[in-house]
C-alpha cells in the first residue's frame, strides 16, 4: 500500500506561522537593525560630505541671483544685435530696475557683475544715486540712454555691455572657463583672458608639478626607512617608529614655521653650509618663499603618510623569499629587484596615492613657505572665499580639483588596480 505526502502542506513554527513567512520576517528585522546601526554614520557622511559637494557643484554653475535682480534688462539685452551700443529699451529697463530695486539684492548683483569686469560696482553705485533722485522727482527723461551716459561715461563703453553677456543665463559655465583663464566674448565664443588675468593655468601646472615631486621624494626617502623598520629587531623598530610618528604630535603650524627659520638665507641650513665652507657668506641660497621651500617642507610633513603604508606591507613579506632567490643564484641586487620590490607595489601605490591626494589640495604650508612662486591652487580658493567673495569661481576650482582626482583615480585603477592598494 503506497502512502502519498502532500507537497502543499507547510511547515509551521511554534507561533503557528509558516516557516517561510517567519524567516522573511526575521530577515527583515535583521536588515532594519543593521540599517539603524549604520544610519548615524550614513547621516554624518551625507551632512559633512555629500551635501557640501553637491552644493559646491551647484554653485559652480549657478547664476540665478543676478537674473532675479535685472530680469527685464537681460530680456531686452538678448534682443540686442551686439552692434554699437545697446538700444534705448535696454537703458530704460536698467534705469527702472536700479531705481526700484532693493539695496541688498542690487549690492549682491553688483558683486557678481564685478567678477565679469572690474568697474561695474562703482559705475552702478554712482549711477544709482542719481537715478533715484530723478525717479523720485517724477520727471522721467526723454532718452534714458543719453541720461545714463551723461551721469557716467561708462554707460557708453561697449566693454561693459560685452561683459554683461556672461550673466544672462541662470546656469553658466563662465566660472569653469575663468578657472582655466578663459572667458566669453560678445558673441558667446570662448576666448583667452587678458594677459594680466591669466594666472590659473600656471597655478594648476605648478600644483600638479609640486604634487608629483613631493610624492616622488616621499617615496625615495620613505622606502629605505620603511625597509629598515620592517627588518630591525622589534625593540629598535619600535623606537624608530616613535620618531616617524613624532611629527603627528607636533602642530602643523609649528613645523611649517620651523622650516621657514631653517630655510631662510640667514637660517640654520645656510649657516651650516657657510660654516662647512661649501658656500661663501655672500652666496647664501634662497630656499624659502619659492617652490624649493614648498617641496622641502611638504615632503617632510607628508613623509609619514608614505612610510606607514610601505611598512605595513614590508612587514608581512617573508624574509625567506630573498634567501631563496639568492640560493638559486640571483645576486642581492637582482633578487631585490625581481623578488622583493614587486611585493612592495601595494604599499608604494597606497602611499603614493595618499601623499598625492594630500599634496594636491595642500594650503597652509605652501601659503607660508612658498611665497608667490610656491603658491598652489588652494591659495586662489582661499583668496576668492575671503577677499573677492567669488563663491562661484571657488566652487568651479574645487569641482575641477575633484574631477582631476577622480580621473587620476580612474587611471590608477586601470593601470595598477584599486584592489592592489594595501594599508596594512
What is the per-residue pLDDT across 45-74, written as a single tens digit (0 to 9) for each?
A: 999 889 989 998 998 998 888 888 888 999
Max Cα-Cα span within the chain: 116
Most confidently modeled of 77-91, 260-274, 293-307, 310-324?
Answer: 293-307
How high is the pLDDT of residue 2? 46
Cell numbers standing for residue 109 = 548683483
Contact 291, 282 (CB under 8 A): no
What contacts 410, CB < 8 A, 6 or more positions away?
none
Determine whether 241 is exposed, middle or buried from the number of CB atoms within 10 Å of its CB (0-12, 13-18, 19+): middle
pLDDT reported for residue 5: 43
CA–CA dist 54, 398 (Å, integer): 12
Hey, what's the cell of 394? 571657488
User: Which residue shows C-alpha cell 610624492?
Assistant: 215
Q: What is the pLDDT, as a whole number, of residue 13?
A: 67
| Displacement of CA 78 from its chain's centroid (Å) | 35
Is residue 419 over pLDDT 70? no
Nearest to 78 by CA among 89, 65, 69, 64: 89
> What's 188's DSSP letter?
S
Which residues is 190 bridged to in the sheet? 184
Residue 395 pLDDT level (bands cut at 50, 70, 90): very high
Q: What are phi and psi of 184, to 5 degrees?
A: -100, 145
* Mean pLDDT confidence for 267-283: 85
The answer, yes or no, to whether residue 144 has pLDDT greater than 50, is yes
For residue 397, name the pLDDT band (cuts at 50, 70, 90). Answer: very high
The span from the CA of 85 to the CA of 155, in Å, is 9
**Model pLDDT, residue 4:** 41
- For the cut 70, the answer to whether the pLDDT of residue 420 exceeds it is no
- The pTM assigned to this predicted structure is 0.80
Per-residue pLDDT, 83: 80
| DSSP 8-state symbol, 16 | S
Least confident of 14-23, 97-106, 220-229: 14-23
* CATH superfamily, with its number, for domain 200-420: MetI-like (1.10.3720.10)
pLDDT attached to residue 423? 53
Residue 160 to residue 152: CA distance in whole angstroms? 12
Structure confidence at residue 398 as a pLDDT band (50, 70, 90): very high
Using DSSP, state whether 286 is helix, strand or coil.
Answer: coil
What is the per-residue pLDDT for 6? 45
Counts for the chain of helices (H) and strands (E), in that order: 22, 2
Q: Which three cell numbers stand for residue 180?
A: 582655466
- pLDDT tens-digit readout, 297-330: 999 999 999 999 999 888 888 888 878 888 888 8
Q: Provide the residue count of the chain.
A: 424
Cell of 386: 575671503
9 SS3 class: coil
Sign of CA dihedral 231, 219, 287, 365: negative
* Position 203 confidence tier, pLDDT thresholds 50, 70, 90: very high
pLDDT band at 334 (very low <50, low <70, confident <90, very high): confident
Kindly state the average pLDDT of the residues 24-29.
84
Return the bridge partners of 18, or none: 12
Question: What pLDDT does residue 188 have?
Answer: 74
Q: Which of 181-190, 357-366, 382-391 has the lowest mean pLDDT?
A: 181-190
What SS3 class is residue 349? helix
Q: Band of the pLDDT at 1, cuts 50, 70, 90?
A: very low
Q: Looking up cell 523720485, which residue turns up?
A: 136
Cell of residue 84, nine digits: 554699437
Mean pLDDT (the chain) is 85
Per-residue pLDDT at 9: 58
Counting Cβ atoms within 10 Å, is residue 292 exposed (0-12), middle (13-18) or buried (19+)?
A: middle
**pLDDT surpassing 60 at residue 341:** yes
Cβ 188 vs Cβ 182: under 8 Å: no
Phi/psi of residue 240, each to 5°? -65, -35
How does pLDDT run across 348-357, given as a tens digit for each residue? 888 898 899 8
Rounded CA-CA distance 157/397 in Å is 31
* Cell of residue 34, nine digits: 543593521
- What's residue 400's pLDDT? 93
Q: How many whole angstroms separate alpha carbon 52 and alpha carbon 62? A: 15
d(CA 330, CA 327): 7
For the chain, the domains span: 13-59, 66-168, 200-420
Instruction: Quote the pLDDT of residue 218.
Output: 95
Percent of the chain with pLDDT over 90: 20
Lowest mean pLDDT among 83-87, 91-95, 391-395, 419-423: 419-423
pLDDT at residue 418, rounded to an integer: 67
DSSP 334: H
Residue 150 CB neighbours (<10 A): 13
Amino acid at each position: 500500500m503506497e502512502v502519498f505526502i502532500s507537497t502543499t502542506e507547510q511547515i509551521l513554527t511554534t507561533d503557528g506561522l509558516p516557516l517561510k513567512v517567519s524567516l522573511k520576517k526575521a530577515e527583515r528585522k535583521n536588515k532594519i537593525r543593521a540599517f539603524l546601526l549604520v544610519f548615524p554614520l550614513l547621516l554624518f557622511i551625507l551632512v559633512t560630505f555629500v551635501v557640501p559637494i553637491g552644493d559646491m557643484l551647484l554653485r559652480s554653475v549657478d547664476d540665478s541671483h543676478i537674473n532675479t535682480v535685472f530680469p527685464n534688462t537681460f530680456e531686452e539685452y538678448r534682443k540686442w544685435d551686439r552692434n554699437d551700443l545697446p538700444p534705448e529699451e535696454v537703458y530704460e529697463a536698467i534705469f527702472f530696475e536700479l531705481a526700484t530695486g532693493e539695496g541688498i539684492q542690487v549690492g549682491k548683483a553688483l558683486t557678481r557683475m564685478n567678477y565679469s569686469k572690474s568697474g561695474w560696482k562703482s559705475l552702478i553705485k554712482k549711477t544709482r544715486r542719481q537715478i533715484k533722485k530723478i525717479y523720485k522727482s517724477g520727471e522721467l527723461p526723454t532718452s534714458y540712454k543719453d541720461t545714463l551716459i551723461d551721469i557716467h561715461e561708462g554707460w557708453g563703453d561697449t566693454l561693459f555691455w560685452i561683459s554683461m553677456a556672461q550673466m544672462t543665463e541662470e546656469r553658466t559655465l563662465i566660472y569653469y572657463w575663468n578657472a582655466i583663464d578663459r572667458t566669453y566674448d560678445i558673441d558667446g565664443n570662448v576666448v583667452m583672458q587678458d594677459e594680466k588675468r591669466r594666472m590659473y593655468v600656471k597655478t594648476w601646472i605648478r600644483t600638479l608639478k609640486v604634487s608629483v615631486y613631493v610624492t616622488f621624494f616621499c617615496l625615495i626617502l620613505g622606502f629605505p626607512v620603511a625597509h629598515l623598520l620592517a627588518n630591525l629587531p622589534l625593540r629598535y623598530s619600535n623606537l624608530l617608529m616613535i620618531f616617524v610618528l613624532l611629527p603627528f604630535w607636533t602642530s602643523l603650524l609649528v613645523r611649517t614655521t620651523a622650516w621657514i627659520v631653517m630655510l631662510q638665507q640667514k637660517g640654520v641650513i645656510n649657516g651650516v653650509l657657510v660654516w662647512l665652507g661649501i658656500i661663501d657668506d655672500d652666496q647664501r641660497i634662497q630656499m624659502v618663499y619659492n617652490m624649493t621651500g614648498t617641496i622641502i617642507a611638504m615632503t617632510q610633513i607628508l613623509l609619514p603618510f608614505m612610510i606607514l603604508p610601505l611598512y605595513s606591507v614590508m612587514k608581512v613579506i617573508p624574509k625567506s623569499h630573498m634567501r631563496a632567490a639568492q640560493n638559486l643564484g640571483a645576486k642581492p641586487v637582482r633578487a631585490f629587484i625581481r623578488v622583493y620590490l614587486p611585493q612592495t607595489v601595494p604599499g608604494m601605490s597606497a602611499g603614493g596615492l595618499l601623499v598625492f591626494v594630500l599634496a594636491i589640495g595642500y594650503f597652509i604650508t605652501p601659503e607660508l613657505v612658498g611665497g608667490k612662486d610656491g603658491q598652489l591652487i588652494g591659495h586662489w580658493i582661499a583668496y576668492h572665499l575671503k577677499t573677492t567673495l567669488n563663491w562661484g569661481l571657488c566652487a568651479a576650482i574645487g569641482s575641477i580639483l575633484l574631477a582631476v582626482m577622480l580621473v587620476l583615480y580612474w587611471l590608477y585603477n586601470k593601470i595598477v588596480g584599486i584592489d592592489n592598494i594595501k594599508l596594512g
